[in-house]
Amino acid sequence: MMNLGRLQSNALKAAVFRTAMILGFGLAVTGCSKGKDAPAVGGNPAPSVETFPISNSKLVNCHFTNPTPTYAFNSTIQPNVIQCDEGVPKRVELLSRTPLPNGLELDAEHLSLVGTAKEKVARASYTVYLENEAGYVRILLTLTVK
């Protein structure tokens, strides 16, 4: 036979737990709904854009500053920077099977084509892959080295 006292004690514990959960949720919601400078529950400041950075946005309208450059043979080129109207690429990679002319390379850190053109190229097109957390795009670079 069940002990009536134990049954009542367990029911009371369950009711206290449910009440605590409801009150805790209500405090959390109240803390989140205050203004940006109002302290949240526990006296800590409410989260803001400064404390929780927004993830990178989708890459939009990405291109080289000069998508069809002509470079002088054996000359150091001005960096040809990759620009996007929105988003910042985190990965840059040459997709084309044909390598870039000797001496030229993609600088992933500075998002640009850099170097000294050590090989003449009549006209060649290269596909460049750009990626960030929000997606990827492919851009085209057509260059000549005379």
pLDDT in tens, 89-132: 999 999 999 999 999 999 999 999 999 999 999 999 999 999 99
Looking at the predicted structure, is the pLDDT value of residue 75 above 90? yes
State the Cα–Cα distance between residues 69 and 58, nearest whole angstrom: 27
Q: What pLDDT is attached to residue 9?
A: 55
State the Cα–Cα distance between residues 123 and 96, nearest whole angstrom: 14
Q: What pLDDT is attached to residue 54?
A: 47
What are the residues whose beta carbons fall under 8 Å from the beta carbon of 14, sequence distance 6 or more?
none
Q: pLDDT of 34-69, one tens digit each?
A: 444 444 444 545 444 444 444 568 999 999 999 999
Domain extents in the chain: 4-43, 63-145
State the Cα–Cα distance between residues 58 and 1, nearest whole angstrom: 66
CA distances in angstroms from 82 to 13, 69, 110, 121, listed in the order given? 63, 13, 9, 21
Domain at 63-145: CATH code: 2.60.40.10
DSSP state, residue 109 = T
